[in-house]
Amino acid sequence: MNVQDIREMFPILNQEVNGSPLVYLDSAATSQKPYQVIEVLDKYYREYNSNVHRGVHTLGTRATDGYEGAREKVRRFINAKSTEQVIFTRGTTTAINTVAHGYARPNLKEGDEIVISHMEHHSNIIPWQQAAKHTGATLKYLPLQEDGTISMEDARKTITANTKIVSIMQVSNVLGVVNPIKELAQLAHENGAIMVVDGAQSAPHMKIDVQDLDCDFFAFSGHKMCGPTGIGVLYGKKALLENMEPIEFGGEMIDFVDLYDSTWKELPWKFESGTPIIAGAIGLGAAIDFLEEIGLDNILAHEHKLAAYAFEKMSALDGMTIYGPKDPMKRTGLVTFNIDDVHPHDVATVLDAEGIAVRAGHHCAQVLMKWLKASSTARASFYLYNTEEDIDKLVEGLIKTKEYFSDGF
Amino acid sequence: MAFNNLDTLYRQVIMDHYKNPRNKGALDEGSLTINMNNPTCGDRIQLTLKVEDGNVSDAKFDGEGCSISMSSASMMTQAIKGKSLEEAIKLSSIFSDMMLGKEYDEDIDLGDIEALQGVAKFPARIKCATLAWKAMEKGIREDEQ
C-alpha cells in the first residue's frame, strides 16, 4: 500500500488551509472521498439519473441495476447470505432506529432488559432509551474497565435471562477500542437475546463478516468509509426482518394498495419507503470497490502503525492525557486526548490555524465523557490517506499550542 | 493564517479573564439562576443574578468551557453589574452585533469586552462567546414576566 499514491486519489487533500497544507485528522467524523467515488456520482447524474424499480425505460433500468448492484457489493462486503438482508438507510442512526422501532417496541415488555455500554455513541443510546420508555423495559449499561475496554466477565454479570437486546459498538469513536462482538453475540444468544452492532467505526477500517460475528443486526454509514453522506446500511437476520413491520410507509415499499389496507413488498424493499438515495447507494458501491482494491487488512495495518506512532509521540509530551487502552494494537487509528490547562476547543482552533483539522467536543458520547470525567476532549483520527508526517505536524502543532497558552499571557 | 493572527482571537485581556475570572461562583439561594449549555461542545454556564429595583446589583457565574466562553462570562458579569435591566439587554444586543461583524454604537464604552471583537473572525467560536450573554438575556426576560 503506497500512501502517496492513495493521497493522489483524494483531490480534497491537495489544498492549503489557513496558509498551510491541509492535514486532515477528522476521518472518524467523516472520511474524504476518492475520485473513484466522486466520478460515479457525477456520472450517475450526467448519464442515467432516473427513478428505480418503476417504469420500463432504459435509464430507469440502468439506475435500478446500479442501485441493486450496489446492494450486492454491500452483501459481499459484510458477507451477508443474501441481498434481502441488506437494507439501505440514511445512515447508522436511521438503521439503529429502525431496529429500536421495528423490533424492540413490539417485542419488549416490562421486566425485559436492553443492554448497552458506557462508550456508546448517542445514536446507540437514545433509540434504546426511547424504546425502554415506550415498553417499560429497563436500560442497563455494561461497565468499562479502567482502560476503557469491555470485559466478558462484566458482560456475563450484566447480560441475564431477562435481557432481550444487546447493542454495542464494534469500535469506539472516542477510545478507539475494538469490542469482542463475537463473544458478546454468543453470550446474548445463550440468554435468548439478540445482538445489535453499531458498525459505524468498524466497517471503514476492518473486514466485517456478519455471519462469523453471528450478530442479528449490523448498522453502518457510507460517509465514514469513503462513500457519500446520506447512505447507510442495516443488515439483519432474515427471520427477524421478515417478522418486523416497516416503520415508514408510502411509495416504493408497497405491494398492493387498497382503500383501507395495503400489503408490503418483500425484503429488503419493505423497509425502503420513498425514492431512495440512488446516487448515494451507487457511490457507496464505488467506495466498497475502492477499499477492497486496497484491501481492508492493509488499511487496518496502516492505521495500527499510525496509532502506535501517534501514541508514542504524543505520550512523550508533558501534560498530555490520552484516553483509552495504551496498547496500540487494541485500538484503531484514532487518539483522543487533552492537554493540561488548555480547553480542547482552544487546541482545535490553534491547530486549525496551522491547517490541521481535529475534532473537539463530546463526540456524541456524553455518557462516556461523564465516565472519563472530562467535559470534552480533542480527537485526531487517521485513515488510509494519513501519514507519519501528518502526525509529526500534529505533534508540532500541539507543542505550539502548549507554548501559546503558557507563555506570553 | 499564521500564528500571530491567532492573537486577534486570544488577546492578553481575554487570557487574563480566563486565568483570573472575575465574579466566579454563585450568589445566595433565591437569586435569579440560569443554567445554559452549548450542546455541540459541552460548554456550560450557571449564572446567578441579583435584581433590585430594576438594576442588576450583583452577578456571578460558574461553569466549564474554553477560554473564549469563560472569559466572555467573566467580562459580561463585570459589565452588567450596577446596570439597569434595560442597559444590560442593550449591551447584550451590542455584543451580538459585534459578534456578527455588524456596526455598533461606538460611543458606548465597552471596556474589556472590546477585546472579544476578534472572535467575529472565527465563526466556529462565536457560540462560545455568546453563551454567557444568552444566559443573561434569558434570565432578565424571565424576570420581567
- Which chain A residues are closer than 8 Å to B40 by Cβ? 361
Q: Which residues pair with B51 in a beta bridge?
A: B56
Query: Mutation test of the interface with chain A: which of B5, B10, B119, choosing the one with the most A Cβ atoms within 10 A?
Result: B10
Grid coordinates of B120: 467575529
Q: Distances from the Cα of A33 to the Cαs of A279, A289, B122, in angstroms? A: 14, 13, 26
Closest by Cα among A294, A288, A292, A323 to A307: A323
Q: Which segment, A186-200, A393-407, B40-54, is predicted with the most confidence on average?
A: A186-200
Give the pLDDT of residue B105.
77
Give the pLDDT of residue A407.
62
- The CA distance from B130 to B123, in Å, is 12
- Cα–Cα–Cα angle for A223, A225, A228, nearest 5°? 30
Q: Is the pLDDT of residue A48 over 80?
A: yes
- The CA distance from A277 to A90, in Å, is 8
Helix ranges (DSSP H) in A277-341:
278-294, 296-315
Architecture of domain A3-26+296-406: Alpha-Beta Complex (3.90)
Say if residues B43 and B64 touch (Cβ distance below 8 Å): yes
Give the pLDDT of residue B3.
54
CATH of the domain at B81: 3.90.1010.10
CB contact under 8 Å between A400 and B9, yes or no, is no
- The CA distance from B22 to A304, in Å, is 46
User: Where are chain A's structural domains?
Assistant: 3-26+296-406, 38-292
Q: Is B9 part of the contact surface with chain A (CB cutoff 8 Å)? A: yes
CB contact under 8 Å between A344 and B66, yes or no, is yes
- Cα–Cα–Cα angle for B126, B132, B137, nearest 5°? 110
Say if residues B79 and B72 touch (Cβ distance below 8 Å): no
DSSP 8-state assignment for residue A178: B
Q: Is the pLDDT of residue A47 over 90?
A: yes
Give the pLDDT of residue A180.
97
Mean residue pLDDT across chain A: 96
How many domains does chain B fold into?
A: 1
- The CA distance from A253 to A251, in Å, is 6
Which of B9, B66, B124 faces A343 most closely, judged by CB atoms? B66
Closest by Cα among B77, B86, B36, B76 to B59: B77
Say if residues A362 and B15 touch (Cβ distance below 8 Å): no
Residue A142: pLDDT band (50, 70, 90) is very high
CB contact under 8 Å between B122 and A349, yes or no, is yes
For A167, list phi and psi in degrees, rounded to 5. Answer: -130, 115
Q: Which chain B residue has its CA at the smallest distance from A378's CA?
A: B41
Contacts of A374 (CB under 8 A, 6+ apart): A323, A338
- Which chain A residues are closer than 8 Å to B41 by Cβ? 345, 360-362, 376
CB contact under 8 Å between A346 and B66, yes or no, is yes
Q: Which domain holds residue B65?
A: 3-144
How far does the CA of residue A408 sit from the closest CA of chain B (Å)?
8
Say if residues A219 and A95 touch (Cβ distance below 8 Å): yes
- Which chain B residues are closer than 8 Å to A353 by Cβ? 1-3, 5-6
Give the pLDDT of residue B109.
80
Give the CA-trace dihedral at A129, A133, A138, A144, to 10 degrees.
10
| Orientation of helix A344-352 relative to helix A388-406, angle to 10° | 120
Give the pLDDT of residue B1.
46
Query: Mutation test of the interface with chain A: which of B4, B5, B6, choosing the one with the most A Cβ atoms within 10 A?
Result: B6
- Cα–Cα–Cα angle for A310, A312, A316, nearest 5°? 115
- The CA distance from B94 to A128, in Å, is 44
How far does the CA of residue B15 sit from the closest CA of chain A (Å)?
6
| H helices, E strands: number in chain B | 4, 3
Grid coordinates of A234: 442495516
Of A364, A378, A384, A391, which is the active-site residue?
A364
Closest by Cα among B135, B138, B143 to B45: B135
A364 catalytic residue (yes or no): yes
Give the CA-trace dihedral at A387, A393, A397, A403, to 10 degrees.
130
Q: Which residues pair with A16 in a beta bridge?
A: A21
Say if residues B66 and A346 touch (Cβ distance below 8 Å): yes
Q: Which chain A residue has its CA at the smallest distance from B119's CA?
A: A349
CB contact under 8 Å between A360 and B41, yes or no, is yes
Q: Is B20 part of the contact surface with chain A (CB cutoff 8 Å)? A: no
Q: Is B87 exposed, middle or buried (0-12, 13-18, 19+ CB in 10 A)?
A: middle
DSSP 8-state assignment for residue A179: P
Interface of B with A in 45-74 (CB under 8 A): 64-68
Give the pLDDT of residue A104.
98
Contacts of A5 (CB under 8 A, 6+ apart): none
What is the assigned CATH class of domain A38-292?
alpha beta
| Cβ-based neighbour number of residue A161 at 10 Å | 10
Predicted TM-score of the model (pTM): 0.92
Give the pLDDT of residue A214.
98
Model confidence pLDDT, tens digit, residues A267-279:
999 999 999 999 9
DSSP three-state, residue B64: strand
Q: End-to-end CA distance of chain A: give it in Å, rounded.
A: 46
- The CA distance from A169 to A124, in Å, is 8
Q: List, for chain B, all residue ranges whose pLDDT scores fall below the cut of 50.
A: 1
Q: Is the pLDDT of residue A13 over 70?
A: yes
> In this prediction, what percent of chain A has a pLDDT beyond 70?
99
